[in-house]
Amino acid sequence: MTDEIDITEGAADTATLFKAPPMAEQERMVEAVLFASAEPISVRELNDRLPHGSDAAEALVYLRKRYEGRGVQVVRVGDAWAFRTAPDLGFLMQRETVEQRKLSRAAIETLAIIAYHQPVTRAEIEEIRGVSVSRGTVDQLLELEWIRFGRRRMTPGRPVTFVVTEAFLDHFGLASARDLPGLSELRAAGLLESRPLAAAPRLGEGDSDVLEETTEGQSELFED
C-alpha cells in the first residue's frame, strides 16, 4: 500500500514538472524574447525556448492585443514576429544627416580639371583655369574626399599631383574617370564657364596604375 502511494505521488510530481506555465507567464516570456532579439523570431523558435507545453502562438495573440495602440507593436515579419515602432510614429525615428554644401565656382572648375586631366599639378590647374588656385579650394575638395594626392612629377621640385577618388566616382555614379561626360555637357549644365579650357591630355592608359600615396606634410606645397 505504501509503494502504491509513493508511485501516485511520483506521477503527480512528474505531471507538475511538465505542466506549462500560466498563459500570462507565457506571454511575458514571449515578450522578453522578442524584446531582446535583434532579429524576428518564428513561433517554432519561440516554442523551442519556452517551457514544455507552452503555446507561443496563443501567447502572441494576447501580446499583440496588449500592445495595440502603443508606441511599439508586435508585428509579423514573414513567418516570424518582432517588435516594431508604430507606423504613425516612424517620423520620430528619422534624422536628417545630409548636409547640403554648395561648391564654389572655383571648386567646381578645379574638380573638373582634375577629373579630366589627372594626374595634374596645382601649377597645371592654374595654367588651365588662367587664375591661381587657393589652398581653401583644394582643402574643400580634399575634405569631401573627392580628390587625393597622387604621385609626384619627375620634374624639378617634384610637384605633387592630384587625382579623383573612388568616393568621387561613387557619388556621381561613374565606373571610372573614362565615363565622365564631355566638357560641352558640363558647360551646358552650368558646371564650367563657357570659355574653353586649355588643351591637356585626357586620362592616359595606365595612369591609374602609377598613382601613389604621398607622405605627410605635402599640404605645405600649396601655400598661397
Handedness of CA 28, 31, 35, 37 (dihedral sign): positive
Task: Tell whether 28 and 54 lie within a shared domain.
Answer: yes
Is residue 12 included in any domain, yes or no? no
Is residue 25 included in any domain, yes or no? yes
Task: Tell whether 64 and 144 lie within a shared domain.
Answer: no
pLDDT of the residue at 183: 63
Is residue 9 included in any domain, yes or no? no
Task: Tell whether 71 and 153 lie within a shared domain.
Answer: no
* Total structural domains within the chain: 2
Of the pLDDT bands very low, low, confident and very high (cuts 50, 70, 90), residue 7 is very low
Chain mean pLDDT for the chain: 76
Sorted by sequence, the CB contacts under 8 Å of residue 93 that are 6+ apart come out as 85
Task: Tell whether 116 and 81 lie within a shared domain.
Answer: no
Q: At what angle do helices 135-143 and 105-117 cross, to 10 degrees?
A: 70
Alpha-carbon gap, residue 39 to 45, rounded angstroms: 12
Of the pLDDT bands very low, low, confident and very high (cuts 50, 70, 90), residue 58 is very high
Q: pLDDT (tens digit, 9 = 90+) per residue, 91-120? A: 888 775 555 667 888 898 899 899 888 899
Higher pLDDT, 196 or 71: 71
Q: pLDDT (tens digit, 9 = 90+) per residue, 175-194? A: 677 777 776 666 665 555 54
The residues with which 73 forms a beta bridge, in sequence order, are 84
E strand or H helix at 33: helix 23-36
Long-range contacts of residues 105-109, Cβ cutoff 8 Å, at least 24 apart: 105/193, 106/131, 106/133, 106/134, 106/137, 107/137, 107/140, 107/141, 108/191, 108/192, 109/192, 109/193
Task: Tell whether 119 and 150 lie within a shared domain.
Answer: yes
Task: Tell whether 32 and 132 lie within a shared domain.
Answer: no
pLDDT of the residue at 13: 46
Of the pLDDT bands very low, low, confident and very high (cuts 50, 70, 90), residue 219 is very low
pLDDT of the residue at 78: 76
CATH of the domain at 66: 1.10.10.10
Is residue 14 included in any domain, yes or no? no
Chain position carrying cell 514573414: 78
Is residue 1 included in any domain, yes or no? no
**pTM, full prediction:** 0.41
pLDDT of the residue at 181: 73
Q: Which domain holds residue 31?
A: 19-87
Task: Tell whether 71 and 156 lie within a shared domain.
Answer: no
Is residue 94 included in any domain, yes or no? no
Task: Tell whether 175 and 78 lie within a shared domain.
Answer: no
Half-sphere exposure of 39 (CA within 13 A, CB side): 6
Cα Rg of the chain (Å, integer): 34
Alpha-carbon gap, residue 81 to 90, rounded angstroms: 19
Q: Which three three-digit cell numbers place residue 36?
A: 531582446
pLDDT of the residue at 220: 31
Alpha-carbon gap, residue 164 to 117, rounded angstroms: 10
Task: Tell whether 168 and 208 lie within a shared domain.
Answer: yes
Task: Say yes or no to pLDDT of 14 above 70.
Answer: no
Is residue 97 included in any domain, yes or no? no
